[in-house]
Amino acid sequence: MRVTNAVQRKKRKHNILSIVKGHRNRANNCVDIATGRSKRTLQAITYGRKNKRRDSRSLLIQRVNALCRQYGLVYSRSINPLKLYLEKKYNHRYHINDIVFMNEHSDIIKNALSDLSQNIVV
């Protein structure tokens, strides 16, 4: 009896074609073309995740800077006391885009900033 690789080949083909579902022309049904397109698609997904993290960090810096300006502080001087809190609450949970989450924790940040502004003599 002759042994073939048909089952694994069909499974591989199905996986590649499921990644490129929705692409135009032969990219969604021709395995040779779909293979290259699927690699590019997976790369784009990775770039998207990294850009999302970059944007969320940038948004966090902007929001903290705005809170600091309300108390007459400079972001670069006031971030060190807040860094520990921000790393615990924001960076590991990535709730920066959630406005409700930011509003809930802005009171704690404001308290820390007010304590900081009282300790700094300008």
* Confidence label for 1 from pLDDT (cuts 50, 70 and 90): confident
Per-residue model confidence (pLDDT) at position 18 = 92
* Bigger pLDDT: 115 vs 33: 33
Angle at 59 between CA 56 and CA 62, to 5 degrees: 155
Q: For residue 93, give the DSSP letter.
A: T
Write the pLDDT tens digit of every residue in 72-99.
777 777 677 666 566 655 554 544 445 5
Per-residue model confidence (pLDDT) at position 94 = 47
Q: What are phi and psi of 4, to 5 degrees?
A: -120, 170
One-letter amino acid for residue 78 of the chain: S
Measure the CA–CA gap between 119 and 106, rounded to whole angstroms.
Answer: 20
Write the pLDDT tens digit of every residue in 99-110.
565 566 667 767
Measure the CA–CA gap between 15 and 30, rounded to whole angstroms.
Answer: 13
Rounded to an integer, what is the distance from CA 54 to the centroid of its chain? Answer: 6
